[in-house]
Amino acid sequence: VLSGCGVYDGTEIHEASAILVHLSRGGAEVQMYAPDVPQMHVIDHSKGQPAEAESRNVLVESARIARGKIASLAKLTTADHDAVIFPGGFGAAKNLSTFAVDGKDCKVNREVERVLKDFHKAGKPIGLCCISPVLAAKVLSGAEVTVGHEEEEGGKWPYAGTAGAIKELGGKHCVKEAVFSLTPFYEAHVDTKNKVVTTPAFMCETELHKIFDGIGAMVKNVLKLTGK
């Protein structure tokens, strides 16, 4: 499920690409979706500032990542899929929810909330990375998720405050690294009760290949939970 195209106002493209690569390697068939709604705003990524005169549609922008093969989120049903995965990027906090503005008092897009609740009720796995675990924390009370560490540690974890917000949303935060350790898949947290799998990704200032590997751990665990 995508949220636009571009880290500051949509889907984090490297995360989406990594998820697709790992799903392909795992032999999964993939369908991409996005809500057919206007973006909260448009960011000029060369300046990191809002482009005041512009407006864009989340589905239309997400189609850039999907190479045109995408459908409205309203068409996503549990009957047609074994799992659902949400990449990060600020679009998850701006277009899939109002977390970027409202924090713990945020609202989640109606279709996003429906999808999360439907997959949870069906006992089908949900994967999320970077900032998107806040969606599960808001919608699925008591879900265990990770966004990495709970302290900034000199700038290594610039969004560490999100962990506190997850607790305020009713979720349980679990500290995880963004690097591979001797413990298999250490950098992805698996909430076996709720079948929610999360990994920090770009919540950490680290090398791209480590983020790629962490996302791989998340995808592998999601696929494992499908039982296929």
Residues catalogued as catalytic: 130
**11 vs 14, 110, 118, CA distance in Å?**
9, 18, 22
How many C-alpha atoms does 81 have within 13 Å on its Cβ side?
25
Q: Using only C-alpha atoms, what is the Rg of the chain?
A: 16
User: Parallel, antiparallel, or unpaired for β 196-199 and 189-191?
Assistant: antiparallel
Q: What is the H or E stretch that residue 32 is in?
A: strand 32-34
DSSP three-state, residue 3: coil
CA distance 206 to 214: 11
Strands (E), 65-200: 70-72, 84-86, 126-129, 144-148, 172-175, 189-191, 196-199
Given a contact cutoff of 8 angstroms between Cβ atoms, the answer to whether 89 and 3 are in contact is yes
